[in-house]
Structure 1
Amino acid sequence: MNDRMVWIDCEMTGLSLSDDALIEVAALVTDSELNVLGEGVDIVIRPPDSALETMPEVVRQMHTASGLLDELPGGTTLADAEEQVLAYVREHVKEPGKAPLCGNSVGTDRGFLLRDMPTLEDYLHYRIVDVSSIKELARRWYPRAYFNSPEKNGNHRALADIRESIAELRYYREAVFVPQPGPDSDTARTIAAKHVLPAG
């Protein structure tokens, strides 16, 4: 069983796939117990000048406050960044198409990876583990757990955001998931029988 989970976070000049640029990408691989494997990678990417010129003011302020904007002139290329992330991921995930992409609201990140780092995106399983989905369910079903979740201060830097996402999933696992090892097989089958929809 492949238990690896690939956590990726991207920082962009905005959310538009047609206009905006990827400016930072970070990755951490964990096992199924959410233990981080290796050092991870965090890479700043120099964007086209046109992407900087059209960056929305709120995004400019965010990346200025985090210090990312000042680092962009020394950033690497998209191709080099993809190569570095892939090298780290392949070190811990030996087979392509096995490990899911994980993070918070990772659908947006996946779109930019598909556009700018297609080899990396293709190395991942098509499934995702989106912590924000668990958060939305906790808000509806376990509001006390939701409102007492760990505070975030990653400051919109990619690697810090990943570490917070992993910590957040650890929290929800402990606060709202059934304690391990979970129900025995008979109990699980009994519960499943209650939720089988009628045929047709």
Structure 2
Amino acid sequence: MSDVLLWVDCEMTGLDVEKEELCEIALIPTDFSLQPLDCGRDFVIKPSERAIENMGEFVRSMHTKNGLLSLMQSARPLEEVKGEILSYASNFVSPERKGYLAGNTIGSDKKFIDKYLPELSSMLSYRSVDVSSIKELCRRWYPEAFAQKPVKHADDRSLADIIESIDELKYYKRAIFRPVGFEEARAEVEASSLLKTWQEKGVTLVDYSNVTKKD
């Protein structure tokens, strides 16, 4: 079985994982050619009353505008939804089929997944694919390609955000991941290798002077 990208996007009551809670999570599995293996699932979650009451004005306005605030208040709590989330993910990720977390600025989502859905975290590789990292490199290395990237239309709802993240990575794949030739690329990198350059200059990469030698 081929490995899977499990695209995840979360909406929260705020960004502080110590105080805020999940209010929506969506998942879409794709292969590494970015072809969807399923149309995905979206789960609206009811946070605690405390989390809703303490929601900041910016987040409250955003979730009111996109309709999520009214939906979450009549949704089921995470304890009742968790099993469905894990069951859906397990359709595509298993010990025989490694899954990699993917998304935009996925580190923020992962903090909440680690805290509220640790079972999902344990199903996935410790490695992840963050479209935001590629975006920032494209912005600086290929500004012309960056200027032509697809315009986002999503309304800060999880499933729509994921779909646009997949499309964004498809664009970068076609626009900037254009190999010049494997042998040429390897020769260029080896010729300008930072490790090789520092070694030739006699730079000490590891200082063992403070290590006590055992008899």
Aligned to 1:34: 34
| Counterpart selection for 1:187 from 181, 184, 188 | 184
Structure 1 unpaired stretches of 5+: none
Task: Give per-residue Cα distances to partners, 1:90-132, cap 9 Å, x unaligned.
Answer: 1122327822110000100000001000000111111110000
Deviation, structure 1 residue 87: 1.5
TM-score, with structure 2 as normaliser: 0.85
> Superposed, which structure 2 residues align to 1:94-105 within 5 Å?
94-95=94-95, 98-105=98-105
Deviation, structure 1 residue 76: 1.8
Give percent identity, aligned residues only. Answer: 43
Q: Within 2, Cα distance between the matches of 1:183 and 1:13?
A: 47
Amino acid at match of 1:68: L
Q: Does 1:112 align with 2:112?
A: yes
> Superposed, which structure 2 residues align to 1:36-185 within 5 Å?
36-95=36-95, 98-178=98-178, 183-184=181-182
Deviation, structure 1 residue 19: 1.1
Q: Within 1, Cα distance between the matches of 2:92 and 2:175?
A: 29
* Contact persistence 1:97–1:125 (CA under 8 A): no
4+ runs deviating over 3 angstroms: 186-189
* Contact persistence 2:94–2:123 (CA under 8 A): no
Q: Within 1, Cα distance between the matches of 2:192 and 2:128?
A: 24
Q: Within 2, Cα distance between the matches of 1:96 and 1:106?
A: 24
* Contact persistence 2:93–2:124 (CA under 8 A): no
Q: Which moved more, 1:118-127 or 1:79-88?
A: 79-88
TM-score, with structure 1 as normaliser: 0.92
- What SS does structure 1 have at the residue aligned with 2:50? helix
Q: 1:191 to 1:2 in 2, by over 3 A?
A: farther
Deviation, structure 1 residue 146: 1.2
CA root-mean-square deviation? 1.8
- What SS does structure 2 have at the residue aligned with 1:24? strand
- What SS does structure 2 have at the residue aligned with 1:25? strand
Q: Which moved more, 1:56-65 or 1:81-90?
A: 81-90
Task: Give per-residue Cα distances to partners, 1:127-175, cap 9 Å, x unaligned.
Answer: 1100001110111011111122111111000000000000000011111
Q: 1:97 to 1:32 in 2, by over 3 A?
A: closer
Q: Within 1, Cα distance between the matches of 2:189 and 2:134?
A: 21
Q: How many residues align?
A: 197
Q: Within 1, Cα distance between the matches of 2:79 and 2:2?
A: 27
- What SS does structure 2 have at the residue aligned with 1:95? coil
- What SS does structure 2 have at the residue aligned with 1:70? helix
* Contact persistence 1:97–1:122 (CA under 8 A): no
Task: Give per-residue Cα distances to partners, 1:173-192, cap 9 Å, x unaligned.
Answer: 1111115xx734x3344234
Q: Within 1, Cα distance between the matches of 2:80 and 2:121?
A: 15
* Contact persistence 2:11–2:22 (CA under 8 A): yes
